[in-house]
């Protein structure tokens, strides 16, 4: 029985990644790191919404390896991962690829075993499925926040505990009251940032409202970028050591375990 389980865990699994971030290669690097225990068994296909109008010129490597949704929609995949996107200040319906995003969510129900949506994609996915509204925050949710694990026995939360932390970088949030209609289960939350890990009742969709994939210096780079642009922004919370601004990574081990659990569930 143990040998059979090990064989299944080592079988190749197909993963479609809809990368909505502007710096696609940087996001790939981040995802490869949190998937590091599974990179050898994951056959990744990178995708972009064909209706999106890119504001920047994409590297040659991206143009060569990425496929439009139209090109891959006839395929079947074990998993779908959708990244965040820096568009949380825009109403969902005004995002240029919104119709295609919703089409992909609907398509995935019959073409992917499970889907994992991060940050903006998590909020957008819940709105697309059940019209869960996002709430614009008065200031940016920015920093490292500890989570409350609701069920340590849940397959996605195995090996995790209430010391689990996660990076957040967004201007919008969801209220737990908006998730109480029966379509979702909140399996991890935070008093500071609200619902964090949410599932549909059938466990087909998992929504993570933070950025578990962020590397050690990502929030530091975002903070300095915004300061240089003249934006009024507070330092990321619970991120820098108070005496010397040294960064202590408290989240990546947990993020890797979360992603590992999700891959095992496919």
Residues 227-256: tens digit of each pLDDT: 999 998 999 999 998 777 899 899 999 999
What 3 state SS string does the chain have? CHHHHHHHHHCCEEEEEECCCCCHHHHHHHHHHHCCCCCCCEEEEEEECCCCCCCCCCCHHHHHHCEEHHHHCCCCEEEEEECCCCCCCCCHHHCCCHHHHHHHHHHHHHHEEEEEEECHHHHHHHHHHHCCCCEEEEEEEEEEEECEECCCCCHHHCCCCCCCEEEEEEEEECCHHHHCCCCEEEEEEECCCEEEEEEECCCCEEEECCCCCCCCCHHHHHHHHHHHCCCCCCCCECCECCCCCCECCCCHHHHHHHHHHHHHHC
Residue 202 has pLDDT above 70, yes or no: yes
Q: What is the pLDDT of residue 2?
A: 53
Is 153 one of the annotated binding-site residues?
no
Q: What is the pLDDT of residue 35?
A: 94
Percent of the chain with pLDDT over 70: 94
Active site residue 165: no
Active site residue 211: yes
> What is the average per-residue pLDDT within 105-133?
97
Is 140 one of the annotated binding-site residues?
yes
As its CATH architecture, domain 2-265 has 3-Layer(aba) Sandwich (3.40)
The residue ranges of every structural domain in the chain are 2-265
List the catalytic residue out of 112, 119, 128, 165. 119
List the catalytic residue out of 28, 100, 199, 213. 213
Is 180 one of the annotated binding-site residues?
no
> What is the average per-residue pLDDT within 150-173?
91
Residue 4 has pLDDT above 50, yes or no: no
Question: Is the pTM higher than 0.85?
Answer: yes
What the block records as the tokens of 187 is: 């399996």
Active site residue 213: yes
Nearest to 171 by CA among 86, 265, 249, 94: 86
Which range is least confidently modeled, 3-12, 88-97, 164-173, 175-184?
A: 3-12
Q: Provide the angle, in degrees to the nearest 10, between the axes of the packed helices 24-34 and 252-265.
A: 80
Average pLDDT, the chain: 91
List the catalytic residue out of 100, 165, 199, 211. 211
Task: Please give the C-alpha separations between residue 96 and each of 136, 194, 253, in angstroms, as whole numbers.
Answer: 19, 28, 35
Percent of the chain with pLDDT over 90: 76
> What is the average per-residue pLDDT within 82-94?
94
Which range is least confidently modeled, 42-56, 62-76, 172-186, 226-240?
A: 42-56
Q: What is the pLDDT of residue 6?
A: 52
What the block records as the tokens of 86 is: 């820096």
> What is the average per-residue pLDDT within 207-226?
96
What the block records as the tokens of 28 is: 């790939």
């Amino acid at each position: 029985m143990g040998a059979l389980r090990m064989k299944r865990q080592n079988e190749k699994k197909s993963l479609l990644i809809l990368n909505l971030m502007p710096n696609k290669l940087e996001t790939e690097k981040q995802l490869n790191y949190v998937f590091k225990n599974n990179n050898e068994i994951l056959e990744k296909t990178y995708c972009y919404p064909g209706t999106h109008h890119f504001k920047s010129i994409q590297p040659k490597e991206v143009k060569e390896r990425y496929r439009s949704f139209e090109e891959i929609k006839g395929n079947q995949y074990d998993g779908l991962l959708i990244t965040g996107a820096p568009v949380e200040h825009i109403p969902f319906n005004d995002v240029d690829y919104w119709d295609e995003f919703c089409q992909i969510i609907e398509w995935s129900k019959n073409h992917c075993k499970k889907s994992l949506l991060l940050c903006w994609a998590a909020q957008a996915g819940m709105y697309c499925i059940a019209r869960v509204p996002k709430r614009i925050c008065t200031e940016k949710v920015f920093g490292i926040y500890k989570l409350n694990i609701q069920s340590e026995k849940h397959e996605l939360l195995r090996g995790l505990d209430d010391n689990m932390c996660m990076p957040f970088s967004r201007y919008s949030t969801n209220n737990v009251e908006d998730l109480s209609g029966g379509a979702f289960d909140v399996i991890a939350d935070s008093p500071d940032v609200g619902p964090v890990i949410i599932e549909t009742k059938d466990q087909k969709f998992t929504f993570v409202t933070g950025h578990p994939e962020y590397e050690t210096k990502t929030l530091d780079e975002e903070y300095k970028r915004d300061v240089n642009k003249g934006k009024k922004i507070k330092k990321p919370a619970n991120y820098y050591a108070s005496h010397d601004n040294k960064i202590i990574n408290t989240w990546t081990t947990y993020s890797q375990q979360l992603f590992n659990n999700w891959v095992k569930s496919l």
